[in-house]
Amino acid sequence: MVDDTLSGMKMMLVICDGMGDRPVAELDDKTPLQYANCPNFDWFAKTGICGIMDTIAPGIPPGSDTAHLALLGNDPFEVYSGRGPFEAFGIGMDVRPGDVILRGNFANVDENRKIVDRRAGRIKEGTSKIAESLNGMEIEGVQILFQEGTEHRAALLLRGEGLSSEIGDTDPHRTGCCPEKAEPRSPSAKKTADVVEEFSKRAQDILKEHPVNKERESQGLLPANYILLRGSGTAPKLISLKEKYGLKSAAVVGVMLVKGVCKALGMETIKVEGATGGVDTDMMAKARTAISALGDHDFVLLHVKACDVYGHDADARKKVETIERLDEMLGYVKDNISNTCVAVTADHSTPVSVRNHSGDPVPLAIVGPGVRVDDVTSYDEISMAKGDLGRIRGKDLLPILLDIVNKSEMYGA
């Protein structure tokens, strides 16, 4: 007999960006998840089936874009074309076939062009005015479109004839050195590389004298006097979640990059007042919105960025505090779900000892009617590895959720 409680069952995926970690000496050699007081995270572990997940593959540090592509049912090795297009989608730029797009960072360099800060002190104010001064150039017949994203992030879109995305990054992903040259990776990409180099030079000249930067300097803040670029790509050809799985889906997310991935997959992105995409985001407002969205959507993604920021900043205590804030948010989710399968995980690990993404697997718990509950009682990287889910890959998560809610299709007769 079919269990009627599974009829019309919804799905929610909660992604705590960069939450996974490694043991930290100042936390008594525990991970932030082990150290934090997390009764609601632990409730999901106790009430569900648990495991750990390699978002891309074992030992491969995921990018935020490739991680979310995988968690939303795609093989990144097959569909990924570069980070730039997703940043542009998230910002709301008009991306057309043939456009080449790069992700940009408002950065700070010294008088010798050596990088002091890749994020210009995590600049938040004035980026729209800076972006406006760089938008609308024309270089070698190529139209330059530049727009700010969340905080220090931006997107550079090149539109014209004879362009190729086969160019290297100018962002070396470290400080104390000069930006890299945009090297062509094929002969057909030389024009594009030349355009990017010329844009970088012009941008530096403009930003050196920009009023926003002069004001920042007067306040003792780092000026955003350089644009670091990476992730060159073209618009990817992706199958929407509606077409692939029959899902009416929505995303509650503040970060433009993740929003762009969701838009590219045909998900409705819901704006939330107070959702900044940063550490000051209103987590409870996002949770309330996600719960409300379940009313007329089959699948809702709830994404929170904050943990990742403190991993990059090597601030273990702040990461613990953020996890405890996330725990309060999960308490609201726990108390307000009905007939819903909920997965709680991270898109990748951002260990404070590494200050970047790592290939360490992330914890995963799935709760809902009909789920096989295992013996795990604590939500952390070590305890969850003992769960019945075992160790899976990110691209397997959505099919697993679909099977739990009886929406998967049989393979074979």
Burial class (CB in 10 A: 0-12, 13-18, 19+), 199: buried
198, 215, 233 - which closes a domain: 233
Cβ atoms of 304 and 258 closer than 8 Å: no
Please report, for residues 97, 98, 163, 182, 191, the alpha-carbon distance to residue 194 in angstroms, rounded to integers and kept in the order given: 21, 17, 11, 8, 5
> 370 and 320 in one domain?
yes
Q: How sure is the predictor about 276, in pLDDT bands with cuts at 50, 70 and 90?
A: confident
Indicate if the pLDDT at residue 113 is higher than 70. Answer: yes
CATH number, position 355: 3.40.720.10
Q: Is 231 left (phi over 0), alpha (psi -120 to 50) or beta?
A: left
Can you give the residue range of the structural domain that contains 245?
4-80+238-404
> 283 and 215 in one domain?
no
> 326 and 386 in one domain?
yes
> 309 and 379 in one domain?
yes
| Structural domains counted in the chain | 2
> 249 and 388 in one domain?
yes
> 114 and 76 in one domain?
no
Q: Can you tell me the distance from the alpha carbon of 124 to that of 277, in angstroms, rounded to the nearest whole number?
A: 11
Indicate if the pLDDT at residue 152 is higher than 60. Answer: yes
> 60 and 94 in one domain?
no
Give the model confidence (pLDDT) of 316-370 as tens digits: 999 999 999 999 999 999 999 999 999 999 999 999 999 999 999 999 999 999 9
Q: How sure is the predictor about 269, in pLDDT bands with cuts at 50, 70 and 90?
A: very high
Query: 76 in a domain, yes or no?
Result: yes
Please report, for residues 8, 12, 268, the alpha-carbon distance to residue 391 in angstroms, rounded to integers and kept in the order given: 29, 20, 30
195, 217, 233 - which closes a domain: 233
Give the model confidence (pLDDT) of 299-319 as tens digits: 999 999 999 999 999 999 999
Best CA proximity match to 70, nearest among 394, 403, 397 = 394
Q: Can you tell me the distance from the alpha carbon of 345 to that of 362, in angstroms, rounded to the nearest whole number?
A: 7
> 280 and 131 in one domain?
no
Q: What is the pLDDT at residue 236?
A: 84
Indicate if the pLDDT at residue 3 is higher than 50. Answer: no
Query: Which of 88-97, 109-118, 379-388 has the least mean pLDDT?
Result: 88-97
> 394 and 250 in one domain?
yes
Query: 410 in a domain, yes or no?
Result: no
Q: What is the pLDDT at residue 83?
A: 87
Indicate if the pLDDT at residue 28 is higher than 50. Answer: yes
Q: Can you tell me the distance from the alpha carbon of 293 to that of 249, in angstroms, rounded to the nearest whole number?
A: 9
294-305: buried (b, 16+ CB within 10 Å) or exposed (e) per residue? beebbbbbbbbb
Q: What is the pLDDT at residue 151?
A: 86
Task: Indicate the pTM of the whole model.
Answer: 0.86
> 349 and 213 in one domain?
no
**CB atoms inside a 10 Å sphere around CB 176:** 9
> 270 and 156 in one domain?
no
Indicate if the pLDDT at residue 37 is higher than 60. Answer: yes
186, 204, 233 - which closes a domain: 233
247-282: buried (b, 16+ CB within 10 Å) or exposed (e) per residue? bebbbbbbbbbbbbbbbbbbbebbebeebbbebebb
Q: What is the pLDDT at residue 7?
A: 55
> 145 and 244 in one domain?
no
Q: What is the pLDDT at residue 2?
A: 40
